[in-house]
Structure 1
Amino acid sequence: MARTSSSTFDFPRLRRQAGILAGASLLLALLLISYTFGVKNHFFARLFSAFFVFFWLLAVTFLGVVPFVNWAARSWFGKEWVSDSFTKTSSRRSSASTSPSSARTPTRTASRSSQKRHP
């Protein structure tokens, strides 16, 4: 079965994102392993395993979970729901920030020095 040219999947973009994640994973792994163990005993084996773990976690999160949540919110609730919830929260925050703040009143009416001290 031949693949059509009208595919909506963008392979160059996916490769670029995977490259960015691989670079960030290598940097995080290098920093973690060199800080924790130094460059002595089994440095490259530890670096490879740490790189693999970081890359796997970042790739699953940013290439799988985040796009799925965006797709689910868009298709299950609709575009109107996403735009309405954003405008409601932004309008609530803006009106709350402009309201005058209430003055704080002391909660304790008597000072501690006037209380009776028990032995």
Structure 2
Amino acid sequence: MKKLRITIEGKTYEVEVEILGSRVASVAPVAAPAPVAAAPVVAAPVVAPAAPAAAPKAAPVAAAAGDVVCPLAATVKNVAVKEGQAVKAGDLLVMLEAMKMDTPVNATADGTVSKIYVTAGQSVQEGEPLIGM
């Protein structure tokens, strides 16, 4: 006979098992469940509330007529023009980078740059104005 102590769902039982060869012949409880001391209760530490979330970004400026808008979500790699500069159709205005690829944004018509809405390193979304013409 072999005595074993087994805990099931928090209750501890002592049992005797008779082993015959490699098969278990009988199992019988020796005593009622043994009393088990309750685990000490530890209060969870009080965690200070998280800092308030940062204020949401201002909504992007709506594109006006004549503005050159961003064709895709990207990061501005560089701005190739200055306010007041005259440009011809096809001139490079802004170089964007998205997914390790450069995307040039060119002037679609002759004109003068009236406003630059973006700076190098800035994240921009599709449809957001880049250059005012």
Normalised to the residue count of structure 2, the TM-score between the two structures is: 0.18
Greater fraction of residues in helix: 1
Q: Looking at CA atoms only, which structure, 1 or 2, has the larger radius of gyration?
A: 2
Greater fraction of residues in strand: 2
